[in-house]
Chain A
Amino acid sequence: MTFLTKTGLAAVLVAGSVTAASAFTACQVTDTGGIDDAGFNQTAWKGVQDSMAEYGIEGRFLESQAEADYEANLNSLLGGACDVIITVGFLMGDATATSAAANPDQKYSIVDYAYDPTIPNVVGQVYATDQAAFLAGYLAAGMTETGVLGTFGGINIPPVTVFMDGFVHGANHYNSVHGTDVTVLGWNPESQEGLFTGNFDSLDDGRAFAQNLYDEGADIIMPVAGPVGLGSASLANELGTDELKIIGVDADQTQTDPDRAHVYLTSVLKRMDATVQAVIKAAMDDTFEGGLIVGTLENGGVGLAPFHSFEDAVPAELKAEIEEIKAAIIDGSLTIGG
């Protein structure tokens, strides 16, 4: 049968060169948003990249395409190839716990999940994002011209809604200080109900949801849905920033989305890169211990990005007030939602 031999010829495989083994390898498994989502996964990956540059380690990542991939992706990183495995995202909580229990000698760290009780070989990285989002809400309330702000999320899970909580409380705080009546559409912190796209990947949804909020009068919108927000940014780009401004989340989106940098009033920073790097450092120094890292305004784990193109547009008093509130949150004299 001739076709068999010909197939053999066609299927000749070129044996590849194996990259030189490095002393230390950090591996990351992303959520379904992908490594280049200009936010969440990308920021966490930046922590690995920074470590690669600074400590000369190897870094690898695996993208998950579906929830069924989580466990399989984790499994394919086992077998001694990775010194520390970093999983990104609340939805990977169960898969990470299962894998960690089955492989007690492997070091893990998960972004956005806190285990209770803690697991000895897993470091959870969580963030008091509401502190930074509170500042963003206060800023937005001070900047809006229509008196209406908007927000929407990807999925109704705590690491998303904590942004929205802070944003609404911040705007409310502005109202009580200045006697204004700014409303926030898209989230109700009391009932924990609001506007959600139901995914972390549809740019079309990001555009459509922003359009709806804009039609309802919102002129500043904070999308909390990873790359979905890029769709909202395109809308703002087309309408012009006088009509609609966007507040970025996770990373400073003027850096991750440079083409539309001018639409971002600011970004609510969740410094996953810093905490990921800290975990890698700990694993390298043998000081790795299972538990919890919490990023706050105080330790710089969360924060507000610079205003960039809006630097001159934001009034000096408002900037000063935000600094005061930041100090008050850090020293505990102001509690969010209190």
Chain B
Amino acid sequence: MMDGKDLKHVNEDMRKLLARAAFGRGDFEDLFVVPVFAVVAALVLGAVIMLATGVDLPTIGQSFVALAVGSFGSLNAVSETLTAAIPLVLAGLGLGLGFRAGLFNIGAEGQLLLGGTAAVIFTFSFPSLPFPVLMIFGLLAGALVGAAYASIAGILKATTGAHEVISTIMLNLISFRLLEYILRQPYIQREGRSDPISKSVPEAGQLPRLLDWFDPNLRLHAGVFVMLLAVVFVWWLLFRSKIGFAFRASGANPDAARYAGMRSGLVIVAAMATAGALAGLAGASQVQGVLGRASPGFSAQMGFDAIALALLGRSHPVGILFAGILFGGLEAGGRQMQVDAGVSIDLIGIIQALIIVFIAAPLLVRAIFPWGFRKETKGGKA
């Protein structure tokens, strides 16, 4: 079976896993300092790119002011930031959970699309149900379909060893075309339209807007509570439940987990299904809270942005929440940049990408900002 050296290695992994509960200086640096510096470095580089494309200095200053004001500078800005963050955080939680379990799930986009579509179809199919019931069932329908779709990749991996990166990418492609097909079915397509667009979510199925009594243009909706509940739930699942321990153990060392008696196939399918349910919930919250209908591409790449988000948040539920708020802020602030300074929205995409590059390369950030980190002696980590 195993020789002593392997066992020692396994024991070490298990000990590290258990030690994670204790929060040290290293975690603090990884979770907070690196992301903060990554954002700063990305903004600075963004300014350089603006300079290089012929934007003058006052406009660059103006656009950063607009970015700040547009993301957190007013009630409307905060509302827009949170509205944009809701689906990103939900999908990101699922992906982060997958990463913890050692699964690199690229399929959130497809799970989100089909989950959202299921929520739309369910809500307009049962318009007679009263308000909270229809809304909640719509969300559940989205989560269920997302979970089912993600499980395909999980089952393929557990039974045949098909790599989840390949299978989830392919499932994404299938979902795009499937959605176009579904949206053209007479039962689903909106009356009087020949383009693929679904009927609308009835009033009782919508996530109610929270602030429209104050100003009808504030789009923040009850999905924000769904998001917060999901953060707590995923935290509990990962760090306080038995199955969550199995997820993390499998992610840290699949062999160790198997020898410890965990059923790896079950863990893979369960982790994929949970991730898919969260992505489906993201789609459902977007159609029930913002769009009110499904159309091709309503996901707007959120499933892919969520991958970056999960990495930025270090696959920790709280980290993902903050990363989602940051991304939401960049989206809302980017809009304001366009309005106030006339700077292209594409620049925001570049800044987001730069943040991810810096996050993905913590050593680079440590090298650029050496004063922000405790000096580490080689091999002597506490």
Q: What residues of chain A have their CB less than 8 Å away from a CB belonging to chain B? A: 2-3, 6-7, 10-11, 13-18, 60-63, 65-69, 71-73, 75-78, 81, 94, 99, 102-103, 155-158, 161, 192, 198-199
Contacts and interface: CB of A to CB of B under 8 A. Distances in A.
A157 B195 contact: yes
A103 B40 contact: no
Nearest to A35: B344
B33 A198 contact: no
A152 to B, nearest CB: 15
Contacts of A67: 291, 295, 297-298, 300
A62 B194 contact: no
Given A6-B369, A72-B332, A62 B62 contact: no
B127 interface: no
Given A2-B372, A76-B336, A198-B180, A18 B62 contact: yes
Contacts of A192: 194
Contacts of A10: 40, 44
8 contacts: A10-B44, A16-B63, A63-B344, A63-B345, A67-B295, A72-B219, A73-B335, A75-B80
A69 B195 CA distance: 19
A13 B68 contact: yes
A65 B300 contact: yes
A3 B37 contact: yes
B217 A103 contact: yes
Given A67-B300, A73-B335, 8 more contacts: A2-B372, A11-B43, A14-B61, A15-B61, A63-B345, A66-B298, A78-B217, A198-B180
A72 B369 CA distance: 36
B264 interface: no
Between A7, A73, A77, A78, the greatest number of chain B beta carbons within 10 A of the residue's beta carbon is seen for A7
A199 B295 CA distance: 12
A68 B43 contact: no
B291 A102 contact: no
Interface stretch (B52-60, B268-276, B312-320): B52-60
Counting from the closest, the 10 A-B pairs by CB-CB distance are A16-B62, A14-B61, A66-B300, A3-B372, A102-B216, A16-B61, A157-B195, A16-B58, A75-B217, A10-B40
A65 B345 contact: yes
B311 to A, nearest CB: 21
Range of interface residues on B (Cβ < 8 Å) = 35 or more
A18 B193 CA distance: 44
Contacts of A6: 369, 371-372
A10 B65 CA distance: 14
Nearest to A81: B339
Contact of B70 (A13, A68, A76): A76
Contacts of B339: 60, 62, 76-77, 81
A224 to B, nearest CB: 13
A79 B342 CA distance: 18
B36 interface: yes
B137 interface: no
A156 B40 CA distance: 44
A198 B64 CA distance: 36
B286 interface: yes
B159 to A, nearest CB: 34
Contact of A2 (B60, B76, B180, B371): B371
Contacts of A155: 195-196
Contacts of A60: 339, 342
B296 interface: yes
A92 to B, nearest CB: 12
B6 to A, nearest CB: 40
Contact of B195 (A11, A72, A102, A156): A156
B341 interface: yes
